[in-house]
Structure 1
Amino acid sequence: MNDDGVKPGNRVLDLFQGARLTPTQRRIAHSLVEHAAKAAYLSAAEVADLAGVSQPSVTRFAMALGYSGYPALRRELRSLTTTGPSEPVGQNAMQRAVHAETEHLRRLGEGLHDLDGVRVAARLLSESRPLPVLGLRAAAPLAAYFGYFAAKVFPDVRVLDTGGTGLLDRLDQARAAGAGAMLAIVLPRYPRESVEAVREAKASGLAVVAITDSAVSPAAESADVVLPAAVGTQLVFDLHTGPMAMAMVLLQAMCDAAPEPVQRRLEEFEATAARRHIFLA
């Protein structure tokens, strides 16, 4: 762990945020994250052995990330795994975890300088009737949170937050009802059912937008658009501040993509809420 309390693997993971990687490249990225401190001092051939791929694949991987070759990527890995900002005096573990989340949000904000991916995702989802929103296990609360607000402005939002034999049936029903896209929120430890549902949705013709923790997530392989947001890992259970922020950014973009019907539905909701005295303030 570096001086700022962030694991080296988490710093390396940030290199791949937003990158569209092939399955082979994801294997390389996963190996670099899992063995961050060690990999920063390995040759391209040794990294290839570690990941079980060819040496040219490692070189192409580095170039896909914008580096001139693997040596340039290795220099970046060394800087990420051997240095870091000094830890503020007197910080306890809880403070470090929260401050790490602020760093995640800062990087997320920087990444949103380019909104192309968010806008494409928003267009796909805002046009889907109905709109299935998948989120199992740890992602279920976030799927429900997104679904609660999305349903105020988009008709027929269907939150798929329970697994089992009926999950794919509900997905089939949404597709038969006219759904054209699905939002999948897939967070570590990546439930098998979630990944399988993403693959099934894609195979059935749905466009898939994935909110997940990184571009090398298992959900990224079958997604049309990947919106990565890092997950905090310094406490016993993960912090999902980043994915929640990304979900709300996406919903805002969806509202921006269809301003007139969204405004009309918001006004209708406010009128209904006032008539029924739903809120105290």
Structure 2
Amino acid sequence: MAVIPQALSPIANIIDGIIPDNLLIKFQEILIRSGMYVKASEILTLAFIASIFIGIIALVVSSVAEIDPIISGVVGFLIPPVLMGGYIFLMMERRVDAIEQTTPDFLRQVASLLRAGVGLETALEDVSKHGGGPLNDELKRAVIEIKIGRTFDDAIMSMGERLKSKNLDRTFRMILEGRRAGGSLSDVIETVAEDLRAVLALKRERKANVMMSVMFLIIAAIVAAPFALGMIMVYSGFIESLGKPNPLLGAAVTAAGGYIIIHSVIAGLLIGIILYGSAKKGVKFAVPLAIAAYGIFLLVGKFGILVVGG
């Protein structure tokens, strides 16, 4: 499905030639995991054009508001890819969550078909033909892989690997181990389905319990710290305008901006630890938090000075 006009196709072709194939393939897999079935080069083209457009607007605004044009241009250029990355990450998390929530019902259907005498591969294909949603899309892909020669075990395990879901990876491993061990596979699948349902319920409860901590970190990162330091800079600038020059004012602004960025990055990493138990996943929160916080800091300082000066 094309998402860009025909006139922009040459730019997409240039991006296809510049970016290494392995990176494009990885990004394409990320788009598929998020449910966006479009070419990676086309999405990157849209982000690049939007970055140039927003960057130019930021430069124009910086000349009017007397803000550092380099910082404004860089921030404006980074806004579209950061927003695009955040949107893709959100869609990916929603898709994985939707698949996890529907997996217990899918397993119960497979167990019922097994009790009726249907083989596991046939049961998987029968279930994939009915209903819709992201889980059915993944099942259809697994069925096609099996038909073209991939082993059943590899096709099933690749679903968990593609979705980066520990719950699904654990679930499929348990099913395959039960299949190898013999016995009543339908009972094993029923037990796995109930276990996954309990795990997902615990996951929802845990997320609800930590949301207050997450909101506190977000507010502290993009509201409290930028506003407080911005107003301090406004006050310092006002005192200087009264004839009491402060030689450290320029250095203080730079130090305050650096502190806000570091504070936002740390807050993002803490959010990753709280939600996922991994600081690495917090990078997805740290970058947009840092950009938003620094932007608010600049706005508070600039418009605060205008208000005080007025």
TM-score range, shorter chain: under 0.3
Structure in which a larger fraction of residues adopt helix = 2
Work out which of the two has the higher radius of gyration on C-alpha atoms and give 1 or 2.
Answer: 2
**Greater share of strand residues, 1 or 2?**
1
Greater relative CO, 1 or 2 (CA 8 Å, sep 6+):
1
TM-score if structure 1 supplies the norm length? 0.24
* TM-score normalised to structure 2 length: 0.23
